[in-house]
Structure 1
Amino acid sequence: MLAKINNFEIDLSKPIDISIPLTNTDENPIAWYIEKPTIEPVVFGEWIGKVSEGKSSTNFNNIFFNPHGHGTHTECLGHITNNFYSINQALKQFFFVAQLITIEPEKLGDDLVITKNQVEKAINAWTSSAKTEALIIRTIPNQKEKKSRKYSNTNPPYVSEEAAIFIRESEIQHLLIDLPSVDKEHDEGKLLAHKAFWNVKDTLHLNSDARLNATITEMIFVPNEIADGNYLLNLQIASFENDASPSKPILYSVLFF
């Protein structure tokens, strides 16, 4: 099925899902020192909300999870501000012109860092007749183990403040990355990349030019066979009034017309 969106022709029958599913197994990725998600039937006395138990005509599960630590999620600046801001209010459009780039983070002391020069070079390698609204960063090495990795206390790679400023100044509204955070795991609460991308100068008193509608999506997974280049992104979230929501970013290969 072909459709024309944002001056692109796309085939809706060939979606590229770059989200990681949430499960209650040891295969679920975990960050931020929490346990795996819980998915279990509701129990009322002898009644169990599970058809296979012979106690119910329906499956009726409770799910306990954390969007930031349990898989692909999209967050707004409410993640770091004193006042409440909701991803459900921040994200009101869902299709974006996107660019996928692949970067091998540079060694900096004990850290692996995505630098401004790397991002700038990778972006400039691709030109588009349409303005890029979303940037998707795939890091290498890109093993399938990312889909089940336990990130706590592993000091994963992160985005430098300068790179985040460059991305913001490039007027990219939506940043997607295959890491648990754009910031260093143990950074004394500085959150330099988050603040730089959202242009948040003071988390207690939000500046008037902070980017209320910009989003960061973390813990995606882009298979190696998906080539760098231009795509149409459909960024789907659940309607949670929360700073973040589990999300399902979908890419579509595009043809200009």
Structure 2
Amino acid sequence: MLATIKHNNQTIEVDLSKPIDISIPLTNTDENPIAWYIDKPVIEPVVFGEWIGKVSEGKSSTNFNNIFFNPHGHGTHTECLGHITREFYSINQSLKQFFFSAELISVVPERQGEDLVITLDSISTALDVTLKLGIPREAIVIRTIPNLESKKHLKYSNTNPSYLDEAAARFIRESGIKHLLIDLPSVDKEHDEGKLLAHKAFWNVKDVNNLNADARLDCTITEMIFVPNEVKDGSYLLNLQIASFENDASPSKPILYKI
């Protein structure tokens, strides 16, 4: 279904019948990706005495499951700056618009000692053409190379995954990009002594205990996405869907539409 949409004073045409889902499903199996030293999600029927909320057990007319999960560690999630601040901020209150112009780029992390780092040069080079043309981009979607299907099932804890350099995060902020999506468990290094340099640079947070007036309350970071290899770098319309959790983060379902 073709739709003509006016966005940022531009008229664009997208095919709504061809969504590109870049989220990772949440399951209670060993196929679920895991980060931050936790166990896999739990999805199980409610039990009241002999009553079990599962139709196949023959004791219920409905399936009635409890779900226990952590949005940061169990799959695709979108977070606001409340993830790192002393004061509470909710993703449900921070994200009020859900369609954005987006640029998908592929980058190769650079080896720096024992780390693999997404550098300022790699980000600026990938965005160079878009920026020179003066095309406004509200979101950036970062796909790291190599891009293996195993990303959808990795156990990231204590593996020192690739991360985003502080200067690269600052460049993204200064480019006017408000929504950052990446296929890693965090934009920051796994063991960084709590510095969270990329998070702070992107959200422009100078003091987590006393938030500065120019901190970016309406900007988001989405982590643990997966962009299939057949999806080409370029311009897209992003639909960033979250659940209405009053929490610093929510599981999310980012969808791309080719423009």
Category of TM-score, reference length = shorter chain: over 0.9
**Residue among 38, 41, 47 paired with 2:45:** 41
* Counterpart position of 2:209: 204
Tell me the distance in 2 between the aligned counterparts of 1:240 and 1:161: 29
Query: Does 1:215 find its partner at 2:220?
Result: yes
Query: Does 1:51 find its partner at 2:55?
Result: yes
The structural deviation recorded for 1:68 is 0.0
The structural deviation recorded for 1:126 is 3.9
Query: Does 1:2 find its partner at 2:7?
Result: no
SS in structure 2 at match of 1:151 = coil
Query: Does 1:72 find its partner at 2:76?
Result: yes
| AA in 1 matched with 2:208 | T
SS in structure 2 at match of 1:119 = helix
Tell me the distance in 2 between the aligned counterparts of 1:4 and 1:108: 45
The answer to whether the Cα contact below 8 Å between 1:126 and 1:229 also exists between their aligned partners in 2 is no
* Counterpart position of 2:102: 98
The structural deviation recorded for 1:229 is 0.2
The answer to whether the Cα contact below 8 Å between 1:79 and 1:244 also exists between their aligned partners in 2 is yes
The structural deviation recorded for 1:175 is 0.1
Query: Does 1:148 find its partner at 2:143?
Result: no
SS in structure 1 at match of 2:244 = coil
Tell me the distance in 2 between the aligned counterparts of 1:129 and 1:98: 14
The structural deviation recorded for 1:130 is 4.2
- Identity over aligned residues, as a percent? 77
Tell me the distance in 2 between the aligned counterparts of 1:243 and 1:4: 34
The structural deviation recorded for 1:125 is 3.6
| AA in 1 matched with 2:115 | D
Tell me the distance in 2 between the aligned counterparts of 1:38 and 1:235: 25
The structural deviation recorded for 1:183 is 0.0
Tell me the distance in 2 between the aligned counterparts of 1:140 and 1:150: 18
* Counterpart position of 2:187: 182
**Residue among 163, 170, 184 paired with 2:175:** 170
The structural deviation recorded for 1:194 is 0.1
SS in structure 1 at match of 2:150 = helix
* Counterpart position of 1:86: 90
Tell me the distance in 2 between the aligned counterparts of 1:125 and 1:141: 23
Tell me the distance in 1 between the aligned counterparts of 2:200 and 2:235: 27
| AA in 2 matched with 1:141 | P
Q: Can you list the C-alpha shifts for 1:53-109, whole angstroms capped at 9, x where unaligned?
A: 000000000000000000000000000000000000000000000000000100001
- Give the count of matched residue pairs: 254
Query: Does 1:194 find its partner at 2:220?
Result: no
The answer to whether the Cα contact below 8 Å between 1:157 and 1:179 also exists between their aligned partners in 2 is yes
Tell me the distance in 2 between the aligned counterparts of 1:198 and 1:237: 19
SS in structure 1 at match of 2:258 = strand
Counterparts of 1:231-246 in structure 2, within 5 Å, are 231-246=236-251
* Counterpart position of 2:32: 28
Q: Can you list the C-alpha shifts for 1:2-22, whole angstroms capped at 9, x where unaligned?
A: 112222100000000000000
The answer to whether the Cα contact below 8 Å between 1:126 and 1:230 also exists between their aligned partners in 2 is no
Tell me the distance in 2 between the aligned counterparts of 1:31 and 1:212: 26
Tell me the distance in 2 between the aligned counterparts of 1:73 and 1:98: 17
Q: Can you list the C-alpha shifts for 1:225-248, whole angstroms capped at 9, x where unaligned?
A: 000000000000000000000000
The answer to whether the Cα contact below 8 Å between 1:76 and 1:86 also exists between their aligned partners in 2 is yes
Tell me the distance in 2 between the aligned counterparts of 1:213 and 1:186: 27
* Counterpart position of 2:122: 118
SS in structure 1 at match of 2:231 = coil
The answer to whether the Cα contact below 8 Å between 1:72 and 1:220 also exists between their aligned partners in 2 is yes
The structural deviation recorded for 1:129 is 6.5
The answer to whether the Cα contact below 8 Å between 1:105 and 1:157 also exists between their aligned partners in 2 is yes
SS in structure 2 at match of 1:78 = helix
Q: Can you list the C-alpha shifts for 1:13-70, whole angstroms capped at 9, x where unaligned?
A: 0000000000000000000000000000000000000000000000000000000000
Counterparts of 1:125-144 in structure 2, within 5 Å, are 125-126=129-130, 130-144=135-149
Query: Does 1:160 find its partner at 2:199?
Result: no
SS in structure 1 at match of 2:101 = strand
Tell me the distance in 1 between the aligned counterparts of 2:134 and 2:207: 36
Residues 129 and 170 (structure 1), Cα distance of their counterparts in 2 relative to 1, 3 Å cut: closer
* Counterpart position of 2:230: 225
